[in-house]
Structures are given as C-alpha cells and as structure tokens.
Copies of this chain bind each other. A is one copy, B any other.
Amino acid sequence: MSQQTYKAQVYVTLRPSVLDPAGTAVASGLQQLGYTGVEDVRIGKYIQLTLTTDSEEKAREQVHQMCDQLLANPVIEDYSFDLEQLATIVGG
C-alpha cells in the first residue's frame, strides 16, 4: 500500500483576548527604532514538520490531533495550518 509524505506548516497564535507582553515589548522596541507606523504586534509559533501517512485526510486529522495535544495550548492559543504533499512512497 502506498504512503504519502506531507509538509505541514502550523501557525500557533495567542487568542485575541489574551495579553501578549512579548508583542507589546517588540512593538515599543520597533517604535523606538523609528518605525512609528507599527501597531498590534502579536508573536506566535511557526512550526514546520513532515508527516508520512496513508492519505491527505489522515494527515489533516493527525495535524489537528497533534495541535490539540501538544503544539498549541487550547486554553490560550488558536492554530491553523497548511498541508502540502511532498512525495509518494510506493509499496512497502
């Protein structure tokens, strides 16, 4: 049975209602550097991984589960992701 390898790009962000002290610090740092037009800086995680599984549907399901279990904190974070097929492994 063939398997596919996918590349997932996961974007984990703090929920809008959650304060972002790191983002606030970066915003004021940028403004001090002279970038006065900068506002609303929010800092999150950008996670890249490869995943080998039977189908795109299964890959999507596993990425959701991995986000719910480990990659994102459901209490204070939201996540979204892109999935891209890299290769097909035939047989095995």
Q: Give Cα A50–Cα B26 distance, bound, in whole angstroms.
A: 13
Cβ B30 vs Cβ A70 within 8 A: yes
Chain B residues whose C-beta falls within 8 Å of the C-beta of A76 in the assembled complex: none
Cβ B66 vs Cβ A38 within 8 A: yes
Name the residue of chain B whose CB is nearest to the CB of A65: B35
Q: Give the size of the chain A interface in residues (CB under 8 angstroms).
A: 34
Q: Give Cα A33–Cα B49 distance, bound, in whole angstroms.
A: 15
With A37-B53, A41-B49, A51-B37 in contact, is A29–B70 under 8 Å at CB? yes
Residues of A in contact with B (beta carbons under 8 Å apart): 3, 11-13, 23, 26-27, 29-30, 33, 35, 37-53, 62, 65-66, 69-71
